[in-house]
């Protein structure tokens, strides 16, 4: 007999890269996980996975069962969410995974709005990288993930997507490196200022957005060198504040409620932004209190206050359009 527990394990394994990662998601040991999969294969009378290059690949029977498992598990989640609305004396609870910058800037405002309709709502916030948040969604440990759409491979996401906000990128520079009127760095900056501008602090998030950022640096600062790599924007901004280089960062990372968190200068970058989305299993999309909280996230995103940001320096604007710098004589 097939159990719901086995279906949940099978569904999580089918959406993950390894048994080790699934065991961590579900809070079970890997031997126990393998045993449950073996029991499930025994119950269905055939193999559900083949091992190809040390990876688990669904068989035809596995793909068939996955489609059915998604329907069954979604129906069960929806039933549990619906029945929870009828229970008296039990507090509604939402488990949310979010990037730290979003947990700090968008989530508090959304929670305050949601509490107006659900005064007893309890929020469990996990600050996670996008890949970790997705794993926890697939493991059914989260109901909502708030992250950047740039970190998603669209063809692999089986969750409903709710657009929350657009977070523009800015170039963060140390105080004293004034780029406001710089049309050509080689002419308008001192050698020391040029060296500082070309010292970049990069991010190693392991997604396609890294390539887009690196292409931007190659076009705008062709002689730049990466002097440090970080895993958080907050660490990068601290390095910029210390005068170690410049960094391209989402605007939300630099402030809280419009109040600057770092003593740096920010300059608008016209062509780059971070689309913020909430991912939620389809069965929760219109169930309460999730629907109210998703709407509150959108309202909080629309109400965000921006920190002071300088206009795009001329050399950045020109690089964005691909225009060549105007010729200048040595006598000028």
Neighbours of 326 (CB within 10 A): 8
Q: Domain holding 187: CATH number?
A: 3.40.190.10
Same domain assignment for residues 132 and 192? no
CA gap 113, 294 in Å, rounded = 10
Give tens-digit pLDDT for 2-55: 888 788 887 788 777 677 777 777 777 778 878 888 888 888 888 888 877 767
E strand or H helix that includes residue 96? strand 93-98
Helix (H), strand (E) counts: the chain = 13, 12
pLDDT band, very low/low/confident/very high, at 209 (cuts 50, 70, 90) = low
What pLDDT is stored for residue 11 in this prediction?
A: 75
Exposure string for 50-73, b = 16+ CB within 10 A, e = fewer: eeeeeebebeeebeebbeebbebb
The yes-or-no verdict on residue 208 having pLDDT over 70 is: no
Q: How many domains does the chain have?
A: 3
Same domain assignment for residues 9 and 56? yes
Residue 26 lies in a domain: yes
Degrees (nearest 5) of the Cα angle 259, 265, 269? 100
Neighbours of 223 (CB within 10 A): 11
Same domain assignment for residues 144 and 290? yes
CA gap 112, 219 in Å, rounded = 42
Residue 329 lies in a domain: no
What pLDDT is stored for residue 199 in this prediction?
A: 96
Residue 232 lies in a domain: yes
What pLDDT is stored for residue 74 in this prediction?
A: 74
Residue 24 lies in a domain: yes
Residue 228 lies in a domain: yes
What pLDDT is stored for residue 328 in this prediction?
A: 41
Q: Domain holding 80: CATH number?
A: 1.10.10.10
Tell me what the pLDDT averaged over the chain comes to.
84
Same domain assignment for residues 68 and 9? yes
Q: Are the C-beta atoms of 104 and 250 separated by less than 8 Å?
A: no
Give tens-digit pLDDT for 74-122: 777 767 766 665 554 456 889 999 998 999 999 999 999 999 999 989 9
3-class secondary-structure state, position 152 = coil
The yes-or-no verdict on residue 330 having pLDDT over 60 is: no
What pLDDT is stored for residue 325 in this prediction?
A: 45
Question: Looking at residue 301, what DSSP letter applies?
Answer: H
Question: Looking at residue 310, what DSSP letter applies?
Answer: B
Q: Give the residue numbers spanning the domain of 70.
A: 4-84
Q: Are the C-beta atoms of 147 and 276 separated by less than 8 Å?
A: yes
Q: Are the C-beta atoms of 127 and 98 separated by less than 8 Å?
A: yes
Same domain assignment for residues 155 and 99? yes
Residue 326 lies in a domain: no
Residue 328 lies in a domain: no
Same domain assignment for residues 13 and 157? no
Residue 327 lies in a domain: no
Give tens-digit pLDDT for 180-200: 999 999 999 999 999 999 999
Same domain assignment for residues 255 and 209? yes
Same domain assignment for residues 264 and 190? yes
Same domain assignment for residues 184 and 64? no
Same domain assignment for residues 79 and 124? no
Residues 169-173 have a mean pLDDT of 95
Same domain assignment for residues 317 and 223? yes
Q: 27: buried, middle or exposed (CB in 10 Å: 19+, 13-18, 0-12)? A: exposed
Same domain assignment for residues 102 and 172? no
Write phi, then psi, for 270 (nearest 5 degrees): -70, -30
């Amino acid at each position: 007999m097939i159990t719901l527990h086995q279906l949940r394990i099978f569904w999580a394994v089918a959406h993950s890269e390894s048994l080790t990662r699934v065991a961590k998601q579900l809070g079970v040991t890997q031997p126990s996980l393998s045993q449950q999969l073996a029991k499930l294969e025994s119950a269905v009378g055939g193999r559900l996975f083949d091992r190809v290059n040390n990876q688990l690949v669904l068989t035809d029977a596995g793909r068939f069962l996955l489609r059915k498992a998604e329907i069954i598990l979604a129906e069960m989640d929806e039933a549990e969410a619906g029945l929870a609305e009828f229970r008296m004396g039990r507090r509604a609870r939402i488990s949310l995974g979010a990037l730290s910058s979003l947990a700090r800037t968008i989530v508090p405002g959304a929670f305050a709005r949601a509490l107006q309709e659900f005064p007893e709502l309890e929020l469990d916030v996990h600050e996670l990288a996008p890949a970790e948040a997705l794993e926890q969604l697939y493991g059914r440990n989260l109901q909502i993930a708030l992250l950047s759409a740039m970190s998603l491979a669209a063809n692999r996401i089986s969750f409903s997507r709710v657009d929350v906000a657009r977070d523009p990128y800015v170039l963060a520079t140390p105080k004293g490196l004034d780029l406001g009127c710089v049309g050509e760095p080689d002419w308008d900056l001192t050698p020391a200022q040029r060296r500082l501008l070309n010292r970049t602090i990069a991010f190693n998030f392991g997604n396609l957005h890294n390539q887009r950022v690196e292409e931007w640096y190659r076009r705008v600062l062709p002689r730049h060198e990466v002097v440090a790599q970080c895993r958080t924007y907050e660490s990068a901004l601290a390095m910029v504040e210390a005068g170690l280089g410049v960094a391209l960062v989402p605007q939300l990372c630099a402030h809280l409620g419009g109040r600057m968190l770092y003593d740096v200068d920010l300059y608008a970058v016209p062509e780059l932004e971070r689309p913020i989305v909430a991912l939620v299993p389809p069965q929760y999309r219109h169930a309460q209190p999730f629907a109210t909280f998703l709407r509150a996230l959108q309202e909080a995103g629309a109400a965000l206050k921006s920190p002071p940001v300088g206009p795009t320096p001329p050399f950045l604007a020109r690089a964005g359009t691909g225009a060549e710098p105007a010729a200048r004589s040595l006598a000028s």
